[in-house]
Chain A
Amino acid sequence: GAVVSQHPSWVICKSGTSVKIECRSLDFQATTMFWYRQFPKQSLMLMATSNEGSKATYEQGVEKDKFLINHASLTLSTLTVTSAHPEDSSFYICSARRGYPEAFFGQGTRLTVV
Chain B
Amino acid sequence: AQTVTQSQPEMSVQEAETVTLSCTYDTSESDYYLFWYKQPPSRQMILVIRQEAYKQQNATENRFSVNFQKAAKSFSLKISDSQLGDAAMYFCAYIIQGAQKLVFGQGTRLTINP
Residues of chain A whose beta carbon lies under 8 Å from any beta carbon of chain B? 32, 34, 38, 41-44, 46, 49, 57, 91, 93, 95, 101-105, 107-108
Q: Which residues of B contact A101 (CB under 8 A)?
A: 33, 95, 97
Residues of chain B whose beta carbon lies under 8 Å from any beta carbon of chain A? 33, 37, 42-47, 50, 91, 95, 97, 100-102, 104-107, 109
> Mostly helix, strand, loop or mixed at chain A's interface?
strand
Q: Are the CB atoms of A103 and B102 closer together than 8 Å?
A: yes
Question: Chain B: which residue is nearest A46 at the CB level?
Answer: B101
- Known contacts A43-B106, A43-B107, A101-B95; is-contact A107 B101 (Cβ 8 Å): no
C-alpha spacing A105/B91, complex, angstroms: 13
Shortest distance from the beta carbon of B65 to any chain A beta carbon, whole Å: 20
C-alpha spacing A10/B42, complex, angstroms: 12
CB < 8 Å neighbour of B100 from A32, A105, A108: A32
Q: Are the CB atoms of B100 and A95 closer together than 8 Å?
A: no
C-alpha spacing A57/B95, complex, angstroms: 17
- Known contacts A101-B33, A101-B95; is-contact A43 B45 (Cβ 8 Å): no
Q: Are the CB atoms of A49 and B33 closer together than 8 Å?
A: no
Shortest distance from the beta carbon of A105 to any chain B beta carbon, whole Å: 4
Q: 6 tightest A-B contacts by CB?
A: A105-B45, A107-B44, A43-B104, A101-B33, A108-B43, A101-B95
CB < 8 Å neighbour of A43 from B46, B91, B100: B91
C-alpha spacing A107/B95, complex, angstroms: 22
